Amino acid sequence: MASTYTSNTGIELIATGEQSGTWGDTTNVNLQIIDRLTNGVGSISLSGTTHTLTTSDGSLSEGQYKLLVLGGSPSGTNTITIDPNDQQKIFFVRNNSGENAIFTQGSGTNVTVVDGYTAAIYADGAGAGANVVDLTPNLQVLVDDANWSGTDLSVANGGTGASSASAARTNLGLVIGTDVLAYDANLQSFVTTFTLPTSDGTTDQVLKTNGSGTLSFADAAGGISTGKAIAMAIVFG
């Protein structure tokens, strides 16, 4: 009976009675594969716009690394195909290539790892319709300074320490009506419509509009002259 291989990693399973005198070499390769699977960091050099990330049966290959550090000089967004498409994979990816990298395995969903960012991705090995999924967007964070069992990330740790918008504003000192003004739709409409002056006017000046939304300070027009005021005082007392 010939050797077989593990379904996701390419480790060779020596059949009973096989490889007499040479099984040690096979075992050493298997142990090297296991080392890559557990803590291996692989530098993946990209070029052009495509790359195949292969896992080969019974031999060391790129697809066996746990952490992929993308580098090289791709000429644009690089599509990395995980091969074969019937193997389940979990990769940690650090993209230092200078371009975005798209991980694909089949016709299903893909994951884009933006240049300069890190992601944990999962390939489901579903064959031609295989999906690649980003595991990080739905990462659950449970942090409590005392016992690591809370549900809210404290402000000191980069969160708000709250589970609702109202409580988060309170913790951040942004309480509406106390620390910040409440949103008013009419005020927003006013600010959007008009361009306000940037400096104060002089005593007794008023705001006037040019009819196109620009407001400025100007002397008041019209009114009652001194002479008219005296005449009105004589008539009406």
Q: Quote the CA–CA distance of 7 and 57 in Å, as a whole number.
A: 9
Question: What pLDDT shows up at residue 141?
Answer: 58
Phi-psi region of 161 (alpha: psi -120 to 50; beta: other; left: phi over 0): left
Kindly tell me if the per-residue pLDDT of 230 is higher than 80. no
The CB density around residue 106, as the number of other CB atoms within 10 Å, is 20
Are residues 84 and 64 in contact, defined by beta-carbon separation less than 8 angstroms? no
pLDDT per residue as tens digits for the range 4-15: 999 999 999 999
Question: What pLDDT shows up at residue 201?
Answer: 87
Kindly tell me if the per-residue pLDDT of 150 is higher than 70. no
Measuring CA to CA, which residue among 137, 130, 131 is closest to residue 114?
137
State the pLDDT confidence band at 177, using cuts at 50, 70 and 90. confident
**pLDDT (mean) for 162-177:** 86
Q: Quote the CA–CA distance of 98 and 117 in Å, as a whole number.
A: 11
Q: Over the chain, what is the mean pLDDT?
A: 88
pLDDT per residue as tens digits for the range 107-135: 999 999 999 999 999 999 999 999 999 99
Distances from the Cα of 213 to the Cα of 55, 149, 201, 205, angstroms = 66, 55, 18, 18
